[in-house]
């Protein structure tokens, strides 16, 4: 039989647990961050892409390292008005036309303040070369938060790196 004391204790216990269960923790490691990014990119028909990672200053601040943000800002400022910037595709999906049906995230190297993670993307169309299905991420820790410091991949066998594209754009 429930007493008033056990009923109150149970109510207090449930009240203390409920908020913790209701709040989903923010992704705190590179694998969780990329899983969240690609889960969003694969929603619906999988054609929404991952441009939300780089679409504006707020998004860049959420996902990218300070040094990559600074380099991107320099490259954008160096781009002639009316021209497309040095990154003219969606690096998250390695495409002009995103197509993400499923994905697999693999931690390649995890250190205290650096990490390398690969994501293998499978599309609905299956029209990519196997090497072009893999996107590599370099992460760094900034103030105990993991941030993307570079995104690398290949397109038709040609290797690319966001950091290299931005750096090379400053040379012209």
How confident is the model at residue 172, as a pLDDT? 78
**Model pTM above 0.85:** no
Distance, CA of 5 to CA of 66 (rounded, Å): 54
Task: Check whether 11 has a pLDDT greater than 60.
Answer: no
30-169: which CATH topology?
Answer: Nuclear Transport Factor 2; Chain: A, (3.10.450)
pLDDT digits (tens, 9 = 90+) for 22-50: 334 456 899 999 999 999 999 998 889 99
Give the whole-number percent of the chain exceeding pLDDT 70: 84
| Neighbouring residues of 154: CB distance < 8 A, sequence distance ≥ 6 | 94, 129, 131, 132, 134, 160
User: How much is the CA Rg of the chain, to the nearest whole Å?
Assistant: 21
| Domain locations in the chain as residue ranges | 30-169
CB 153 within 8 A of CB 134: yes
In 3D space, the residue among 140, 51, 155, 47 whose CA is nearest the CA of residue 101 turns out to be 47
**pLDDT at res. 21:** 36
| Model confidence at 106: pLDDT above 70 | yes
d(CA 76, CA 84): 9
DSSP assignment string, 39-92: HHHTSTTS-S-SGGGTSSHHHHHHHB-HHHHHHHHHHHHHSPTTS--S--SBTT
- pLDDT (tens digit per residue) in 79-92: 988 888 899 999 99
SS3 call for 11: helix
- List pLDDT tens digits, range 55-76: 999 999 999 999 999 999 999 9
Q: Is 46 exposed, middle or buried (0-12, 13-18, 19+ CB in 10 A)?
A: buried
Residue 88 sits at φ, ψ, to 5 deg, of -110, 30
């Amino acid at each position: 039989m429930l007493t008033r004391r056990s009923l109150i204790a149970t109510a207090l216990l449930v009240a203390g647990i409920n908020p913790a269960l209701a709040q989903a923790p923010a992704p705190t490691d590179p694998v969780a961050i990329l899983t969240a990014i690609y889960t969003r990119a694969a929603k619906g028909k999988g054609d929404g892409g991952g441009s939300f990672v780089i679409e504006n200053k707020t998004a860049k601040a959420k996902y990218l390292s300070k040094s990559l943000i600074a380099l991107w800002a320099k490259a954008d400022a160096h781009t002639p008005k009316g021209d497309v910037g040095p990154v003219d595709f969606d690096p998250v999906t390695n495409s002009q036309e995103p197509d993400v049906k499923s994905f697999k995230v693999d931690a390649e190297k995890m250190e205290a303040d650096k990490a390398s993670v690969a994501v293998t993307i499978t599309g609905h169309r299956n029209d990519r070369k196997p090497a072009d299905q893999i996107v590599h991420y370099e992460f760094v820790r900034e103030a105990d938060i993991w941030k993307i410091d570079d995104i690398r991949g290949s397109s038709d066998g040609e290797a690319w790196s966001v950091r290299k594209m931005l750096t090379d754009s400053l040379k012209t």
